Every structure is written in structure tokens, then in C-alpha cells.
Amino acid sequence: MDLIKRGWLLFRQLKTWIQVVLVIALLGVIGALSGGGATTSGQNAASSSASSSSSNSQAAKRSYPVEYVRSAVINPATLTVVFNVKNDGTQEVTPSCTIRMQDTSGTYRGFDVFDITRPISASQTQQVIVQLTITKQGAAFADQFSGECSATTSDIGSNAGTGVVISEIQNFSATDGSEGWYWGASFKANQKPMTQMDCVVRALNKSGKVVATTKYRANTLNDGTVIGYGSDAKSLVDSTKSLVLSIQSFDVKCTL
């Protein structure tokens, strides 16, 4: 006789009230085990849902600095606009932008909404060119720029204003005037290649007085050398012979 049959025979020999008590107790244990399992499963599901919700809530729309560079009339109704978008965060992004041009009265105006196709790395600036259709063929009069760029990202960090270590500053000014008189400095930065930054270079005379200042957007080469970025970067500045020859040293500061 196996154990199950023996147990059943013993159970039947018990008094009726004892049988009832045992059945109730057994049902209680089964219910508790079943309910406990359901609760644990529910807690796991709730935890998973909360984790997913928390992850999704970390992503938010973030705006990025936009700077107007220049514009050119293509025809009476079309205007080409050049502007810069700076990723001042710590993660790569691909922003969406809205760009507008109009005259002061708003009579002649145009806009475009588009996605930038090439991702912008952290601390980098990308130059963008768009063509706008201007109402009433007023492209020649639309000289007021406005725009914004944004992207949905979990990035809440910022490299804006972060200092850069500058080294190996040398005088790169004209020496004899054979190609005109100009001044400027060459230097290196402790940043990886193709890192963009904003630089301020001050020229000092032998007394330590600032005799000239230039500011420009810059970029690093493979060896850390910093050069001007963009056609309007004033890393070399036209000057006079007397000022160039008075320069004895430089004060250079760059920020990301």
C-alpha cells in the first residue's frame, strides 16, 4: 500500500470534526501560497512598469544655441541662410530646427522646419545652410533672423564654458611686413582632434598692457594645435607695424 492510500485511510478513521479542521487548514495554506505568488508577480510587474516609466521620463526636449552667420539673395523670392547650431551638451544629438527670416515690418517673410541629417557631437558646432522662400518676392528685404533647434535626449550635462588647458603659445605675427602687417598667436590645447571651442587671444606689450584682442571660433588638429574655424574666424588680424612690433607676449583663453 503506497503512502497516499495509507494517508487516506488514516484520514477516514479520524473524527468528523478533525477532518473538517484539517481540510480548512489545508485550504488556507493553499490559498496563502496562491495569493502570495500573485502578490509577488504583481510587485514585479509594478516594479518593471515603474522602471520603464522612469527610463522614459528621463528623455526630454532640449534646446541648443543657434547663431546667425549670413544670408544671400538667390532671386527675388529665395534667400540662402547660413547659421550655426552648437551642441553644448555631453551626448551626440540630431536636432530639429525652425528657421525664419523677415523684414522689420513682417511684410516679407519666410521659414522652414527641418531635421539636421548629420549628428552633432558633444561640444561641437555644425554650420547649416538652408534656402527660404520669401513672400511677395521680398528676399532682398528679409534681414531679420530668428530660429531654434531642439532634440529629445536624456542628456542633462553641459560643457558650455568649460575651461581648456592652453600650452606652447608662440608669436605668429608678421615679422617683416613683406605680406602686410598682421598679428596672431599659435598654441595648442589639451583636447582631442576636431574639438571646437571659443577662444580669446590678447596681445600684450613689454609692460603687460593689452594692446589688441581677438575672439574667434576654433578647432583642434591631430597634434592639439588650435586653428580658426570658419571663414570669418579672426585668428590673424590685420594691423599696423608699430602695434605688431610692440607685442611681446599673449594671454590665451579657450572654452568649450
What's the confidence (pLDDT) of residue 52?
47
CA distances from residue 200 to 91, 120, 137, 243 in whole angstroms, order as listed: 26, 24, 41, 18
DSSP E strand boundaries for 87-165? 96-102, 109-115, 125-133, 144-153
Which residues, 6 or more positions from 16, have their beta carbon under 8 angstroms from its beta carbon? Answer: none
- Contact criterion met (CB below 8 Å) for 108 and 75: no
Q: Considering only residues 73 and 163, tell me which one the structure prediction assigns the higher pLDDT.
A: 73
The mean per-residue pLDDT over the stretch 158-180 comes to: 84
The cell numbers describing 151, all together, are: 532634440
| Sign, CA torsion 46/47/50/56 | negative
* CA–CA separation, 28 and 18 (whole Å): 15
CA distances from residue 137 to 12, 77, 149, 168 in whole angstroms, order as listed: 102, 4, 27, 53
* CA–CA separation, 88 and 159 (whole Å): 6
Entry pTM: 0.53
* CA–CA separation, 204 and 116 (whole Å): 42
The cell numbers describing 253, all together, are: 583663453
Least confidently predicted of 40-49, 131-140, 245-254? 40-49
**How many CA within 13 A on the CB side of residue 78?**
6
Instruction: Give the helix ranges, DSSP H, for the chain.
Output: 3-13, 16-58, 241-246
* CA–CA separation, 145 and 55 (whole Å): 37
What's the confidence (pLDDT) of residue 45?
47
Beta bridge partners of 239: none
* pLDDT digit string, tens, across residues 56-98: 457 899 999 898 989 999 999 999 999 989 888 889 999 999 9
Q: Considering only residues 20 and 183, tell me which one the structure prediction assigns the higher pLDDT.
A: 183
